[in-house]
Structure 1
Amino acid sequence: MRRTQSRESMSQRLSRVREAAKQRKKERFTALFHLLTVEALEAAFLSLSRKAAAGVDGIRWMDYAGNMKNNITDLHRRLHQGSYRAQPGRRHYIPKSGWKTTPARHRLAGGQDRPVCAGEKS
């Protein structure tokens, strides 16, 4: 029950920020970091696909979920300390006819980065 309430409140907060940004297009928002709570990161992680491919660091959803509380808490601490650094995305290619390949549109984030990336999309 708590998880649903946290998701709703995060969504409501983000929609208020969105509305303010639409109304005051030239204003810079400098105090949004308080929205990155442990609950918000946890909700972002749980919204990810459990069947997604492993990221650049080789961590799959189930690997990260095995120690989710500690992983999310550590990620939250590093974000707020400023010591978090996103890993480069893993590039993957789609095979085409013959020997040609085409780069995929999206890069795969590492397992540690996925809650942050998912939170950006909410």
Structure 2
Amino acid sequence: MRAPRRAKETFNYHHSSLRNIIERTFGVWKARWALLRDMHVNYTYKHQVSIVIASMAIHNFIRKVGRFDEAFNTAQQESYNPRQGRTSNEEVSATSNSDHNVLYMAAIRDIIAQDIMDS
């Protein structure tokens, strides 16, 4: 595989890498805390927020002080596919794709891409 050469290629490479890490982290988090997968059915929004914050704090504590984390070691394997780690299409909120938003985000991407190239 060839290395990215231009600013947008470099941005896309780093963006994709970061997105993979984030998706794996959420997959491990949901695998570790099964409650997170279906809590929208049994808990009010206020309680869901508290559960997410509490489980995130415990998860981060385990990551920081734990010498061995089986969930993350499993996720490091290339063939890792978290159980029910993906959200359904109904759970994904729609985003507005107005011309203004598209242009604004393209400008932000270009600024970040140039910063990456400059560093």
Structure (1/2) with the larger helix percentage: 2
Give the TM-score normalised by the residue count of structure 2. 0.30
- Name whichever structure is richer in strand by fraction: 1
Name the larger-Rg structure. Answer: 2
Q: Which has the higher contact order (CA 8 A, sep 6+)?
A: 2
